[in-house]
Structure 1
Amino acid sequence: MTEHASTSTMLRARSTAVLRRVEVVVDLNYVGLVLATLFFGLSVTPSLVPRDWLFQGLISGINAAIGYGLGCVLEWLFRRWVRSRIPIPSPSDRVRYAIKATVLVGCALVAALMLVQSARWQREITSLMGMAGTTTPAYLRTGLLSMAVGVAVVAAYRTVRVMVLGLARQLNRWVRVPRELAPAAGLLVLVVLAVTIFNGVASRAFFALANSAFSVRNDRTTPYAVQPVAPERSGSPASLASWQSLGFEGRWFVSNGPSAAAITEVTGKTAREPIRAYVGLESVTRDQTAAQLAVAELERTNAFEREAMVVVTTTGTGWVNGMAAGAVEYLYGGDTAIVATQFSYLPSVLSFLSDREKAAAASRELFDAVHARWSAQPEGHRPKLFVYGESLGSQGSEEAFDGLADLREEVDGALWVGPPNSNRLWRQFVDRRDPGTPAVAPVYADGLVVRFADDATDLDRAEPWREPRIAYLQHPSDPIVWWSADLILTRPDWLSEPRGPGVSTQMRWAPFVTFWQVTADLTNAQGVADGHGHRYGSLVLDGWLAVGAPPGVDADVVESIRAALESAETYEREVK
């Protein structure tokens, strides 16, 4: 009997020793684990657009790591300020391990249940957008990926902590920093060095590398972009801007779009060959700026004698929405001139970080040059002058004007699509919207001059709309419109008010979590059906009809134009 008891005692001692070794190796903070599970659960709640398991896993892993870090801080504060002053008896090893096992199992169960519910929420969002939903078993992969991402982030933090403590010891040895302040001083030095390197060498190297990488794509030409022969197009043999200098997006823009024959076939009326003037980054010489070359192209094609002219601010890569350009050309029977310049090789997300000032400067330079030449035309012989921009292009386009009065004085209409939350004029209009109107569908000054639209009915209100008209197209589910750094700590109006069409009623705001959710949504803003997210489709046609359509456009002709535009967009997605 004594021998049996002795054996049991030895086994328990060995088990305890093994558990202690595991505890030392894993080194989990259980308060942090609870908060990590809470943050993970919040992160899989609905966001603006559907997310597949891969995106959800990445974002949930980051959120879980943030929660874990917060829990570690709270536990440290408890030990330092409460436990050190109030004697609290420590539980036995058996009780402590039982509590930890319960926490581990509980957190795992909560995470699994949240993933099952999240799969249901994702199916709800896809249903609202008319898309196919995910399956629950497929979505459970999110949990494994989130765990891997969270562990990687925590491991990176612990590496930094080791560096800070090492630096603190050296500071204490070299400059006699007090022991209590050494860790904080070490962290401060490390942060200053990191920020200096990132803002200087690292950021410049990153964007230089990105520019180099995307300039390679800029040199490519899809087989479906063929050099135009019509003199009305830049890149043609008659053009002042060579075909090769236009870049990937420029070559696509000038080689596609409706011809005079196509417009005649769709509208049933004789049409002119539309003018498309484009200047790429490599079109510019030392003797001429991009804006000057663009105006020279307009003069070469007699563009200032057309009925309508549109100044387009491109997105980062130089992209112009072919549907928006084609809509104007069809509506005006080809009696149009559309002009645009490329200001960057980078896609909009990277351009937003590095080229916002460049976009604004390029937009101001182009518009001012075109407007100056346009103003030289005799009154009564000037084309209608419109401005257009989409996404980052709308932000650059806005910057060509000091304010609403300046805008209305210089143009005959403005159409801006999917404006980023940081757009200066857009922000002013939304902040000053009429009382009682929601952020996702604001009404500014009774809609007398500026209107916001999620669909065509928002543009076709009975109230008077004075010319020149300004219209913003924005979906409640477009993350590019609603993303802001303020989401980190501030609940936005669009999540305090009733949710807009296409947005789950279950979407809630949580500090840090919502910011990361919407940030992840940015990468999939166009991975949804038309009419949602950053996919505006033929709504741009309705925008042009409202802002600057010529009189007497037949409703049946409009639907024929819509069908032609949608067919062209489908073709572009398939071959580009």
Structure 2
Amino acid sequence: MTPSLLPRVWLLQAVATGISIATGYGLGCLIAWAVRSCGISPDHSARLRRIGWWTLAGAAAVIVPTFLVLGSWWQQITRDLAGVDRIDRANYLLVLVLALLVAVVILAAARGIRRGTAALTRIAAPHVPAPLARVVALMLVVLIAVVSINGIAYRAVIGLADRTASAADHGTAVGVEQPVAPERSGSPASAQEWESLGREGRTFVAGGPSARQIQEVTGRPAPTPIRVYAGHDAADTVEDAAELVVDELHRTGAFDRSVLAVATTTGRGWVNPRVAGALEYTAGGDSAIAAMQYSFLPSPLAFVADRESPQQAGRALFEAVERAVEALPEGERPALVAFGESLGSFGGQSAFGGAQDMVARTDGALWVGTPNFSPQWSYITAHRDAGSPERLPVVDGGEHVRFAAGGQDLDLDGAPWATPRIVYWQHASDPITWWSFDLLLQRPDWLREPLGPDLDPGVRWTPFVTFWQVTLDMVFSADVPAGHGHTFGPDAAQMWARILEPPGWTDADTDRVHAAIAEERY
């Protein structure tokens, strides 16, 4: 019931509590087994057992209601910190009922495995030594369970999700209309048909600020920003799709723009419109953004089921665009930048061997809400400067790479910032960034160090418990206001202004772009 990174609805709280109950019971059983294995078998009297049970019941009668009340109170504090409306605390009375049900289901599954192991042990016992029979039986039961879940149920669920998502991909979001500007894929002038772009692709090419909107905000004349895209069904391989994107870049004249951005999308092909729009405002419309879809799966499922496709797509698209840029005369090349959010950040970084490779091959990058399993992010974070916190590392004194939760963090106390500039944008309350299997048994540095400003001071690490809390925080990680969790918004204006440093750009320009993005004026 203790607080974690984000507010939890009572249903998710019940699941977290139920898993914790089952885990605690399992650990108790393990300790009891270890004690008996050492030859210790206490023979308590009936009176002592009775006293023990009544003591336990009395403690539970006090502790359980107390923590239900405290848990609901902690959640209200967490909601205030995240800028989310408070809820009726009476809902937390239902947590105990559902939590017990979850715990019973988990316990039943565990006992089913135990019974299966015992049955197989009895079959094997006449033929092999008893200890070996037990080990073999346990391995067989676990193997059967894994094969059943991973090989049958897992594939069925992922297959159904993929088919469902594929069908939904043919739809178009409300209010999205086919662009007529030749600077956009899917327009009448484009080789990429409107229907082939997928739902998110159509939303991407039809969106963004117009030349007029950019001029109104920046006070400078602006061309129409270029957006090119290839859908999942446009080619047989990601490499072929990347070449189609490059063809679109050539068709639209993207290589004549001052800024060319390679965006790696999330699972279904989504590009954060605020991040893309902020880049276009900051570049004064003299920009082109290239992206492509590599999956039908929603990001939560792709997060679990498919971590290869984002990497393949990220490498294929960046390398294809990079080759095209390098084929131009050196003085006629656009500034080549990269960005991506969540799985897009993970996939986009896969095109590089690390921070120095990004510095060598780009003119800047913005990685947003990077998942914890991203190798480049993990390495950079682990090798941060001594004394800097894990939630906002300092790398080589901030020479090229900087971490920020908001625009103000980029200043780094006035330290000089060389170009190219690489920014990792992440929030202290984002479970996507902090979720790891290591949370099961190891307290991370971000919970040893001073907590982020949007975390309850009562957040603590508890073995097993914290892992499940953060796991369930991920479910609604994007359903909070910008600046918290996995929601990234108008601060993209500050990020791109510092990365691109347009000539003559001022803080007032950044403020106007920030306001435009906050108002969704695109």
Q: Shared fold by TM > 0.5?
A: yes
1:470 corresponds to: 422
Selected match of 1:245 from 193, 196, 204:
196
8 Å CA contact retained: 1:443, 1:451: yes
2:64 maps to 1:111: yes
Match of 2:2 in 1: 45
Aligned to 2:54: 101
Structure 1, unpaired ranges of 5+: 1-43, 572-576
Q: Does 1:153 align with 2:106?
A: yes
Distance 1:426 1:306, change over 3 A: same
Identity of aligned residues (%): 45
2:447 pairs with 483, 495, 510, which one? 495
Go from structure 1 to structure 2 and tell me whether the alpha carbon gap of 1:73 and 1:288 turns closer, same or farther (over 3 Å shift).
closer
Decide which of 501, 509, 515 is 1:549's aligned counterpart: 501
User: 2:520 is paired with a residue of what secondary structure?
Assistant: helix
User: Which residue is equivalent to 1:127?
Assistant: 80
Query: Conserved in 2, the CA contact under 8 Å of 1:439 and 1:494?
Result: yes
Cα separation, partners in 2 of 1:401 and 1:299, compared to 1, 3 Å:
same
Q: Following TM superposition, by how much is the alpha carbon of 1:402 offset from its aligned partner in structure 2, in angstroms?
A: 1.6
- Aligned-pair distance for 1:197? 4.2
Partners of 2:371 and 2:293 in 1: CA distance: 19
Q: Distance in 1 between matches of 2:43 and 2:225?
A: 84
Secondary structure of the 2:331 match is: coil
Instruction: Pick one of 19, 27, 31 that aligns with 1:70.
Output: 27
What does residue range 78-477 of structure 1 map to in structure 2 within 5 Å? 78-84=35-41, 88-92=42-46, 95-172=48-125, 176-284=127-235, 289-461=240-412, 462-477=414-429
What is the distance in 2 between the residues matched to 1:564 and 1:276? 19
Quote how far apart the aligned CAs of 1:124 are.
1.6
AA paired with 1:482?
A: W
| Residue matched to 1:13 | none
Instruction: Using the TM superposition, give the Cα deviation of residue 131 of structure 1 relative to its aligned residue in structure 2, in angstroms.
Output: 2.5
Describe the shift of the 1:339–1:287 C-alpha distance in structure 2 as closer, same or farther (beyond 3 A): closer
Contact residue 267 and residue 330 of structure 1 kept, 8 A: yes
For 1:9, the equivalent position in structure 2 comes to: none
- The Cα shift of 1:463 comes to 1.0
Measure how far apart 1:359 and its partner are: 0.9
Q: What's the counterpart of residue 461 of structure 2?
A: 509
User: How many residue pairs end up in the alignment?
Assistant: 521
Deviations 1:390-439 (A, max 9, x none): 11111111110122232212110011111111222221221111111111
- Three-state SS of the structure 1 residue aligned to 2:156 is helix
- Alpha-carbon distance in 2 for matches of 1:326, 1:509: 38
Identify the residue that residue 58 of structure 1 maps to in structure 2: 15
- CA RMSD in angstroms comes to 1.9
Moved more, 401-410 or 126-135: 126-135
How many angstroms does 1:379 deviate by?
1.8
Distance 1:104 1:182, change over 3 A: farther
Using the TM superposition, give the Cα deviation of residue 493 of structure 1 relative to its aligned residue in structure 2, in angstroms.
0.5
Shift of 1:467: 0.3
CA contact (8 A) 2:239 2:313 kept: no
Letter in 2 for 1:128: L
Query: What is residue 519 of structure 2 aligned with on the other side?
Result: 567
Q: Summarize the Cα distance change of 1:403–1:95 in structure 2 as closer, same or farther, 3 Å threshold.
A: closer
- One-letter code aligned to 1:145: L
- Once the 2 structures are TM-superposed, how far is the Cα of residue 357 of structure 1 from its aligned partner? 1.6
Provide closer, same or farther for how the CA distance between residues 553 and 113 of structure 1 changes in structure 2, counting only shifts above 3 A: same
Q: Distance in 2 between matches of 1:285 and 1:500?
A: 45
Alpha-carbon contact 2:494-2:510 (below 8 Å) kept: no
Which blocks of at least 5 consecutive residues in structure 2 are unaligned?
A: none
Q: 1:189 to 1:100 in 2, by over 3 A?
A: same
Distance 1:531 1:115 in 2: 29
Structure 1 letter corresponding to 2:215: T
Instruction: Give the AA of the match of 2:64.
Output: A
Say if 1:67 and 1:278 are closer, same or farther in 2 by CA, change over 3 A: same
Opposite residue 352 of structure 2, the aligned amino acid is: F
Shift of 1:301: 0.4
**Letter matched to residue 38 of structure 2:** W
Spell out, residue by residue over 1:297-353, the C-alpha distance to the aligned partner (whole angstroms, 9 max, x if none).
000101100111100000111000111111111122211100001111112222122
Judge conservation of contact 1:460–1:546 (CA < 8 Å) in 2: no
User: Equivalents in 2 of 1:526, 1:223: separation in Å?
Assistant: 21
Q: Secondary structure at the residue paired with 2:91?
A: helix
1:98 CA displacement: 4.2
2:81 and 2:307 map into 1 onto residues whose CA distance is 34
Shift of 1:280: 0.7
Post-superposition CA distance 1:124-179 (Å, at most 9, x none): 22222233233432222211111111111112222222222222222235xx1334
Q: Aligned partner of 2:510: which letter?
A: V
Aligned partners of 1:202 and 1:521: how far apart in 2?
24
Contact kept? 2:268, 2:296, Cα under 8 Å: yes
Does the 8 Å CA contact 2:227/2:290 hold for their aligned counterparts?
Answer: yes
CA contact (8 A) 2:492 2:514 kept: no
In 1, distance between residues paired with 2:212 and 2:70?
Answer: 54
Deviation, structure 1 residue 89: 4.5
- Asked whether the equivalents of residues 239 and 317 of structure 2 are also in contact (C-alpha less than 8 Å), the reply is no
Whole-Å Cα distance in 2 between the matches of residues 287 and 217 of structure 1? 21
Segment of structure 1 superposing worse, 134-143 or 385-394: 134-143
Rg comparison, structure with higher value: 1
Work out which structure has the larger RCO, using CA pairs closer than 8 Å and 6 or more positions apart in sequence: 2
Maintained 8 Å contact 2:183/2:225:
yes
Candidates 415, 431, 444, aligned match of 1:479 = 431
